[in-house]
Each structure stands twice: as structure tokens, then as C-alpha cells.
Structure 1
């Protein structure tokens, strides 16, 4: 079948066992999480619930291997004797797409497809319930995920382009402006500063910096937390939480805008001046908005290194979604970064459509009059593509990937992950979309960063 996508309906049947996410390989971390998504949010009362899951526990398959999706339909927690569900199978929500219906028998139906290339095979299911309207669920299978590669090669002058940007940044003094603000009463032992730092790329760095009150010179690991998509104040509590754990820490907003303003101030920017930031300058590699954003990340990392309390070694960066893409860029541009946590990272593999697959968030490449990706934008955006940035990362990095993520598609995330030359690990979440369904997610992130900092300060072998 065209583009390597094939699917067919198989007879009704039960999947084997209760799927949980297993250890994938020496570099993959296992978690106990069902490889399925459900129409039920797990909180509100629901008469009907439709669920779909892959037959394999880890949702990992080979090229050309049949992928069976098990669909279940319950009413008041009991199998529905007979019914009909609608399904769609796609290549990670991109063409080619096939649709059909499946007959439920004793609460179960199965749909099978396959993909003859590395990527993700996604199954979306819809049930028209008589009492709740349309109920949807989705599952996805990773197909030879370690073989996924970026749609385009790294530009020949990519490194030179960024070396030029770094040289321009180095010529501009940081000139930090630090205004101490009161720490929350329930966060003792910390100092907090509203910080602005001069930066190239069209805007200053703007964020909050926090440190332990009793921090001694050359004693503390450093952490930069970068922001997800949107227009908002810098996270105030984020760096304070880590200062309580012994870090010097900083959060920056993505746009270099003032901190501590009323919500209306940020809402006005979001709907006005910064409304189009995701695609601004996309036809010019120097003007593309994310180039300036990455420079602000680099400058913030330089600021942390300039603090007398920094231990001189441990420099970490963490972010999710847009922040995950920024974290990748920070680790690429600053070789002194010692650990990176990139959750559901965006800004990777923009040019996916040139390879007949989905492109990475924010999908900045429009189609031209001929229906093909605009070649000017394709070329310009390559210089801010996280999949190209990833090739420069030498320090340990950890990815967290949701298989049913429609915002930052897993195909694009793996395209970046697979070309990282340094130590790396990945946490596969077959059931997750663009969220953190695991209630222990932030605890896990915090414990990971704290433990990695202890390892590095203790002189242990650096691991991802």
C-alpha cells in the first residue's frame, strides 16, 4: 500500500494479558502504565467508556509486522453485547489515512494495520453513545522507532551559523539587572530575584532566579527551567522549589517579557504583539523567532555559570513541550551542560512533510500553491530545528515521549532522539498524549534532577 501503510479488520478477539509498559532496552526506562487511552477521564461518572490499546504491552513493533488494536466498549462497567465503533488508522495522524467501522461483540472488537517504514501507527476510535455524545480514544504503536531519522540532513553550514550567533552574543555584556523580591513565607531559606539580562536575538532574558540563603561559593549545582508554549509570566515558584533542594535555579519566560504583571498584560500580548510568534520570521533563518529564543536560553545558562555559588561543574536544563525543544537547544549550544531532561519536546523535525510524514510543533511550514511544503520556509527553519540541534549534544539527556501526542508527535521526537551522539535514555509512554497523566510525574522529574546532581557532584560516572 502507498507510503507503507496497510490495515485490515480482523475477527473479534481478546488481547493477551494486561498491557503494561516494559523495559525497552538498556537505554529505555520502564514504567507501569497501560498502553491504551480511554474516553473516560478517570474522575467523572460515565455510563459508556470506550478504550483502545495495542496488543503488545510495550506498543513496539517491527516494520511490516501486524499491529492489532483492541477496542473495548463498556456500559456501566459491563461489556456492551453488541455495538458499532468507528476507527481511523494513520501514520501518526498524517496521510495516508484509512477509516472504517468495527462491530463490537461482547464488549470487544479488533482492528489491525501495519507500517512498512519506521514511524508510528495510530488508531483513533469514536463511539456515538446514546447518552454522552461522541466518545473518543486513541492508541499508537511505535514501528522500529530507533530507525526514525530526521526528514532532512543537517545543513552544511549549521554549526557555522550557530557559532556566528554565539560570537555575536559573546560580544554583548550580560549586564544583569537583579531585583530581590520577597520569598514566599512557606519557602524559608531561599532568596529570589527578578532578573533581566541583555541578549541578542531581539529580546532580553527575563526570569526569576533563586538560591539557598546559606549557599557558599562554589557549592551549588545549577538548573535552568525553560517554558512551554504561550505567553505568560516566568514561573515564580519553580526555581524556589529547587533552591530549597540546594540548587541555584532559574526560570525564564520564552519571550523576554517583564515578569510580575497582571494576567491581562500577558493575555494582551498573546492575542496581539506575540500572537504569531510561532511562525514569525519563518522565511528567514536569522529572523525565525526560535533562533532568538534559543539565544535567550544560552544566555541564561551563561548567567548561572557566572554566579559565585555555582559549583563550577553541574549545569542542568529541563523543559517540556516548547520547553523541551529549548532544552535540546540549550544542551546543544552550551557544551558545559551536564544533564538535560526534555519532556514531550516540540521544535523537532519541522520538515516531516518533505518525507511524507507529520512535521514537528509548531508546524511552521505552509504548503505552497503546488500543495508541497514551501521550500523557502523549509530551508530557513532548518537552522532552528531541534533534530539538527540534537546532533551537537554530547552530555547525558533524557526524553519523555507520549505515543498518542497530537501536539508534539512522537515521530518527530524520535527523529531528534535518534541522532543524539551522547549518552541518552527515553521514557516511552504509549498511553500518553500531550500531558503528564502520571500523577507522580513532577515528583519523578524532581527526584531525577536531584539524584543526577548528587551523582555529578559526587564524581560518579555521568549517566542519562
Structure 2
């Protein structure tokens, strides 16, 4: 069933999310601190047995120089520079196996699939630890380090993502002027953060994005992962105001206000995980050129393969 506002109201909806006065300074200082560390990009070929796609095990320095893993996939024997898709994973997943997710390289693009620190044990498998400690948290990642913006988990994840773009731009096989970011759910939220923090992207594809419009998303759904925050605040009743103050620095709504690259969003009207109003909360604030595809009869899977096919057509025009 529909889980949210009618589509006509969604297109008019505006999030109540606050825009912290020092939002830009916080992220400028966060990224500057991590940029003191060399990128340290290492790329090693992987023997997969594939004939049309070459796969490389890539490592680069993310937040505060901590190593982050990724798969780099390119068409066999490609020399570049190639238009490139940098992809971020959904909640709980890691970069998975070297022979998975071959679509983008098969279409002729370089494809950097970035691991998510600390995740990868719900599905897919991951190889990047999160060595930072935190205070009390609920199960999952949504409340890890939520007592302050400095310790909050997604400060590290979003910094890793920005550094992934910088690492990609350092590769000879990558055309640094033709990079798009893509992801579904959590990956869509990370893509929005990157769009707000990185200049010169060729495009942004946030599919049913998570991590958007926390004032609404934490109260409108009983589905995880947003419900992790609700359970935490039901226990730590006195922390609600402070927690939302922290979350404002990591909300896709506030990153969307700072984005300039052209964006193609998707949302689904029967999505209980990332309700469509929370997606429109970010979409309606997005500062760059934008389009959104609405899937009326779908849940959190969104358009699935239909989104892939549409993205291939868009990329062909974008990079013609």
C-alpha cells in the first residue's frame, strides 16, 4: 500500500531539517584533516577468470588515513581515460566478490565499487574495518558515535566516499572530468553527501536514497534502519534534541542544498524503508539540475533493473 503523502503533495513537500550555521566549516575541516594523509592508492590485479572485464583490488586512504578497500573494474585491456561510475553500497553490505556487479564495466565504463567501513556482514561481504570507538549505541550503525558530530559514524563514511573520488581521479584509466556517483538506499545517501562535498561531478544517481530528512524519517516509519534511531531515543529519552542536532550535519537534505551536478533520483511510493517524502525532502532542496522517477507500485527495491536500463541510456547521452 502507499505509505506516505500523495505524489502531488510530495512534489510540494519541504523538510523541516535545520541547516547548521557551521555545516560548511565542519566538513571543510573534516576533509582537510584527512587530506593531510597521502591517498596511498594501491591497485593489484585479481585473477578472476573473466574474459571481458579486468578486476583490480584497490586500497586508498580514507578518513584520517585509514585504509578503505574497493573493486576497480574496467573493460578488458582498457587504457582509458574512461568515463567512470563510482558506486556506494546499501546498508549492511560490503564490496562483495570480485566477480559480482559487472554491468558498468561491461558497458564500457570504469567502475569503482567502494566498500563501506564496518559493514558487509549482513550481505555481500566487506573488507574495511571501522577502528573508531564510540559510546553507547543501538544495534546497527545509525547510532554509532551519535553523541557528537565528531564521533558520528557517517562522518567517517562520507569522508571515505570523498576520498574515493579523489583516489579515482588519480588513476590513469579514469577520466577525472567524467565521473558519476551512484548508489541505492544507503549508497544513494552517500552519493548525495558526495554531491554536496565534491565539485566537478558529471552526474549523481541517488536511488531510493537513505539518510535523508531525519526529522521526518525517524518518526514516519517503523522499519529499520531509521528505527534504530527511534529505539535509541526511546531508551535515551534525554538525548533526542542533541541527537538530531548531530544528524543535521549528515542529512541528505543539507547536502542537496550544496550540490550542483545534474542528478537523477528515484523513489517508490510503497517504500516503508525510505518513505518517499524523505526522498522528496532531499530532491526538492537539490540545487543542481534534477529529475526524479517515481515507481508507484514498488517498495524499497525501486525500479531495479529498469533503473539500470534507464541509467545506461542516460550515461550514453551524458558521455556521448
TM bracket, shorter-chain basis: 0.7 to 0.9
How far off is 1:208 after superposition? 0.4
Matched residue, 1:396: 262
Deviations for 1:101-152, whole angstroms, at most 9, x for unmatched residues?
xxxxxxxxxxxxxxxxxxx33xxxxxxxxxxxxxxxxxxx224223212222
The aligned residue for residue 433 of structure 1 is 299
**CA drift at 1:309:** 2.4
CA contact (8 A) 1:209 1:239 kept: no
Q: Which has the higher contact order (CA 8 A, sep 6+)?
A: 2
Q: 2 CA distance for matches of 1:290 and 1:154?
A: 17
Q: Distance in 1 between matches of 2:154 and 2:96?
A: 18
Structure 1 alignment gaps of length 5 or more: 1-36, 38-52, 54-91, 93-119, 122-140, 455-464
5 Å matches for 1:293-442?
293-352=157-216, 361-363=225-227, 364=229, 366-367=232-233, 374-436=240-302, 440-442=306-308
Q: 1:165 to 1:349 in 2, by over 3 A?
A: same
1:243 aligns with 2:243: no
Q: 1:331 to 1:192 in 2, by over 3 A?
A: same
TM-score in terms of structure 1 length = 0.60
The 8 Å contact of residues 93 and 124 in structure 2, kept in 1 or not, is answered as no
Alpha-carbon offset, residue 428 of structure 1: 0.9
Q: Which has the larger radius of gyration?
A: 1
- TM-score where L is the length of structure 2: 0.85
Q: Which moved more, 1:226-235 or 1:357-366?
A: 357-366
Aligned 8 A contact 1:206 1:256 in 2:
no
CA shift for structure 1 position 340: 0.8
- Give the alignment partner of residue 54 of structure 2, picking from 191, 194, 197: 191
1:440/1:393 CA distance change after superposition, 3 Å: same
Aligned to 1:253: 115
Cα displacement string for residues 61-94 of structure 1 (whole angstroms, at most 9, x for unaligned residues)? xxxxxxxxxxxxxxxxxxxxxxxxxxxxxxx4xx
CA contact (8 A) 2:207 2:265 kept: yes
Alpha-carbon RMSD across the aligned residues, in angstroms, is 3.2
Per the TM alignment, residue 175 of structure 1 is displaced from its structure 2 partner at its CA by: 0.6
How many residue pairs align between the two structures? 308
Stretch moving more, 392-401 or 443-452:
443-452
Higher helix share: 2
Unaligned stretches of 5+ residues in structure 2: none
Deviations 1:355-401 (A, max 9, x none): x7569953425436796871111111111111111111101011100
SS in 1 for 2:171: coil
Say whether the 8 Å CA contact 2:96–2:125 is kept in structure 1: no
Counterpart for residue 83 of structure 2: 221
1:225 Cα offset (Å): 1.0
Tell me: CA distance 1:235–1:446, structure 2 relative to 1, closer, same or farther (3 Å): farther
Q: Which has the higher strand share?
A: 1
User: Of 71, 96, 99, which residue of structure 2 is paired with 1:208?
Assistant: 71
